[in-house]
Amino acid sequence: EVQLVQSGGEVKKPGESLKISCEGSGYAFTNYWIGWVRQRPGKGLEWMGIVYPGDSDSKHSPSFQGHVNMSADKSSSTAYLQWSSLKASDTAMYYCARLGGYCINGVCSRTGFDYWGQGTRVAVSS
Amino acid sequence: SYELNQPPSVSVSPGQTASITCSGDKLGDKYVSWYQQKPGQSPLMVIYQDTERPSGIPERFSGSNSGNTATLTISGTQAMDEADYYCQAWDSRIGVFGTGTNVIVL
């Protein structure tokens, strides 16, 4: 059974650093991109970026480039989302999700985010 | 940056058909996924690659995509379908979500 289990909620102050995690199991972790999605309170989903655990390649949405860092550890099947200096506007629920896909005759296609973590709530307040 | 626009809300009577639109420049040239999110839950993919249903998603969910508009259709809407729905597409290998639509089953 495919599962993505995220780390617990966090309460931080502005300017502090934070690293949240997403552990995958039940599938070949290194073969699928992991995406991160932000949802501010009462608002919609925001696509932050994706990271490929196989080689740590990552692609960030311009809205998040330079403010967050995405990484992955193959040995522990865990993806990470990291901030070096949090802002109050980072207060949100953060979801990780697996980007599904398939390959036919060497041609690969992505499908969508087929499995999601339970979310990590981050609160940033002075 | 690329934008996807959805109506804020759609109301439907039980058993009727709900249509949720997602508009973006030349969206028909891109693959669209749709996600359902109920209060307090993680999103759930209900359509991928414009028209495909993941395993376990009821047949009443269907999708289409042409021109500048993608559409998620819920046929025979049930009370359990009341949720927020988001479209998602890719632009130059970066993803973007739509603004979201709250489906109300009256």
B-chain residues near A114 (CB < 8 A): 45, 48, 54
Q: What is the DSSP letter of B81?
A: G
Which of A44, A60, A61 lies nearest to residue B99, judging by beta carbons? Answer: A44
- Residue B45 touches chain A, beta carbons under 8 Å: yes
Taking a contact as any Cβ pair under 8 Å apart, which residues of chain A between 58 and 97 contact chain B?
Answer: 59-63, 95, 97
Residue in the structure block whose two tokens are 């896909």:
A101
Over the stretch A30-68, which tens digit does the pLDDT of each residue have? 999 999 999 999 999 999 999 999 988 999 999 999 899
Q: What is the DSSP letter of B8?
A: S
Please tell me the distance from the alpha carbon of residue A112 to that of residue A116, in angstroms, as a whole number: 11
Over the stretch A85-117, which tens digit does the pLDDT of each residue have? 999 999 999 999 999 988 888 888 889 999 999
Q: Who contacts B24 (Cβ-Cβ below 8 Å, separation ≥6)?
A: B2, B3, B4, B5, B30, B68, B70, B89, B98
Closest residue by Cα to residue A87 from A53, A122, A118: A122
Please tell me the distance from the alpha carbon of residue A29 to that of residue A120, in angstroms, as a whole number: 20
- Residue B99 touches chain A, beta carbons under 8 Å: yes
Structure tokens at B44: 């759930």
A104 to chain B, closest Cα gap in Å:
15
Mean pLDDT confidence for B63-78:
98
Burial B49-74 (b: 16+ CB within 10 A, else e): ebeebbeebeeebbbebeeebbbbeb
Q: How confident is the model at residue A20 (pLDDT cuts 50, 70, 90)?
A: very high
